[in-house]
Amino acid sequence: MIQKTPKVLLLEGIHTCAAERLRSVGYYVEAEGHSLSGQELVDRVQGFDALGIRSKTHMTEEVLQKLPQLRAIGAFCIGTNQIDLEYSNKDATCVFNAPYANTRSVAELVIGELVMLARKLGDRSSAAHRGVWMKSAAGSNEIRGKVLGIVGYGHIGSQLSILAEAMGLTVLYYDIIKKLPLGNARPVDTFEELLQQADFVSFHVPETPETKGMMGAGELGLMRKGTYLINASRGTVVDIPALSAHLKNGHLAGAAIDVFPKEPASNKERFESELQELENVILTPHIGGSTEEAQAAIGLEVAESFINFFEKGSTIGAVNFPNLDAPPVEEVPRILNVHLNTPGVLGKINSIVSAAGGNIRRQFLSTDAHIGYLIMDMGRSDVDRVASEISQLETSLRTHIILP
Ligand code: NAI
């Protein structure tokens, strides 16, 4: 029950900085360049306390059931669809990801696209490659002094806002939540207002029922003639046939699209879109967040989550677990207990502690619909006995001791 040096297995070629960081605190780490599945995955993960994966390793209920020792899974990426979050919650396996490590990469891509669209760089470059000289100032503009309308002023939208102001743009934004404007950016009251005022509209919203198709024919019609649209958020946000029509009839002067309603599953699959061949349209294969820097940042962020989890019991940033932070383990042992969230559990745990003549230094508890998570620092007591009795409660799912 006393936690030993954590053993971590990293699959799918996770950036080497993750293994380096984990080894720097003494963890045992093995790394593989590929993904695994089914029984092969189960066999390889046996004996490890934590597993790092990217998008290709599927942690299904069937796989998780056979890995009772596994305490944490790190999705070294943004999405967590490859993991059965509901089962891993009930099973008390804590799942971490790194949702914001590629924020800056997306914001930088959009900055590049603003200039590319305003100068028709995509078309001119490919023409030059084909031997066609397209020198002309007509329809080419500086972005300085133009209005950028940002839809969704979250992590990416607000970073973009700062970068865009530094390039001389005026920034307006629309968000459903009241957000503090950065620099000189200005919120607008309605989405429609933003569409009517902006020279460039850039989407940075999540995929929700409200954002699905939020940019349809009616909304595109509200944009001023000769303006530009950028979407590097989610493929369902913009109605592609409607966008295509507004580009073909010249209402919009260009668009940069990084995400699509239907994207190829791998680089081997062919990509089809009705935006192909249209003038001044930049199409990119969902690479907004795909940079070496973002991969390194993801590696470090998830490695740090593992370290906080094993050293302190912290679950901050976990996607399927009650989020709880705690100070470092000092002087006295710490008991971590994950239990079924039913009434009276804490009372039973406290009775065990008092019967053992123990002294609780501090306790932190957080719950969700299925489980409760307790972090408890114990002074003056037989911590092994207390933890063992707690682990035998029928509500207990996992119990560990971290020694100072
Ligand atoms: P975030 O959660 O920090 O910000 C999203 C913002 O959108 C929030 O401020 C939220 O209040 C706002 N919002 C939600 N619904 C809205 C609505 N109906 N109208 C207006 N605002 C609304 O998310 P973050 O990290 O900035 O990411 C934004 C998008 O970028 C996400 O969809 C994410 O999947 C996507 N993304 C794309 C990448 C790529 O490779 N192209 C890489 C990383 C993220």
Task: Tell me, in angstroms, the distance from the centre of ligand 1 to residue 105's CA.
Answer: 14
Catalytic residue at 124? Answer: no
Catalytic residue at 286? Answer: yes
Same domain for 150 and 221? yes
Helix, strand and coil content of the chain, in percent to the nearest 5, comes to 30, 20, 45
Q: Is the model's pLDDT at 92 over the cut of 90?
A: yes
Task: Tell me, in angstroms, the distance from the centre of ligand 1 to residue 335's CA.
Answer: 37
Q: What is the pLDDT of residues 143-171, one digit of tens each?
A: 999 999 999 999 999 999 999 999 999 99
Same domain for 256 and 215? yes
Same domain for 47 and 145? no
**What is the C-alpha separation between 57 and 36, in angstroms, rounded?**
6
How many structural domains are present in the chain?
3
Same domain for 63 and 168? no
DSSP state, 336? E
φ, ψ of residue 397 in degrees (nearest 5): -105, -45
**What is the C-alpha separation between 240 and 257, in angstroms, rounded?**
10
**Residue range of the domain that includes 14:** 1-102+291-321
Same domain for 114 and 92? no
Same domain for 172 and 298? no
Same domain for 379 and 393? yes
Which residue's CA lies nearest to atom 4 of ligand 1? 154
**What is the C-alpha separation between 361 and 323, in angstroms, rounded?**
21
Same domain for 215 and 339? no
Q: What is the pLDDT of residues 277-325, one digit of tens each?
A: 999 999 999 999 999 999 999 999 999 999 999 999 999 999 999 999 9
Q: Which residues contact 279 (CB under 8 A, 6 or more apart)?
A: 123, 247, 254
Whichever domain contains 367, its CATH number is: 3.30.70.260
Ligand 1 atom having least distance to the Cα of 158: 26
Same domain for 301 and 379? no
pLDDT confidence of residue 265? 80
**What is the C-alpha separation between 143 and 394, in angstroms, rounded?**
64
Same domain for 154 and 243? yes
Which residue's CA lies nearest to atom 28 of ligand 1? 204
Helix (H, G, I), strand (E, B) or coil at 147: strand
HSE at residue 205, side-chain half, CA atoms within 13 A, is 27
pLDDT confidence of residue 358? 86
pLDDT confidence of residue 395? 96
Whichever domain contains 80, its CATH number is: 3.40.50.720
Same domain for 154 and 165? yes
Of the residues 321, 339, 372, the one at which a domain ends: 321
**What is the model's pTM?**
0.87
Considering only CA atoms, which of 168, 156, 232 is closest in space to residue 199? Answer: 168
Q: What is the pLDDT of residues 314-357, one digit of tens each?
A: 999 999 999 999 999 998 999 999 999 999 999 999 999 999 88
Considering only CA atoms, which of 226, 250, 227, 242 is closest in space to residue 274? Answer: 242
pLDDT confidence of residue 23? 98
**What is the C-alpha separation between 133 and 117, in angstroms, rounded?**
18
How far apart, in Å, are the Cα atoms of 301 and each of 32, 296, 313, 360?
A: 19, 9, 16, 32
Same domain for 274 and 296? no
**What is the C-alpha separation between 74 and 51, in angstroms, rounded?**
6
Q: Which residues line ligand 1 (CB under 6 A)?
A: 78, 100, 102-103, 106, 151-157, 174-177, 179, 204-208, 210-211, 232-234, 258-259, 286, 288-289
Name the strand (E) or helix (H) holding 318.
none
The region, left, alpha or beta by phi > 0 then psi within -120 to 50, assigned to residue 336 is beta
Model confidence band, residue 218 (pLDDT cutoffs 50, 70, 90): very high
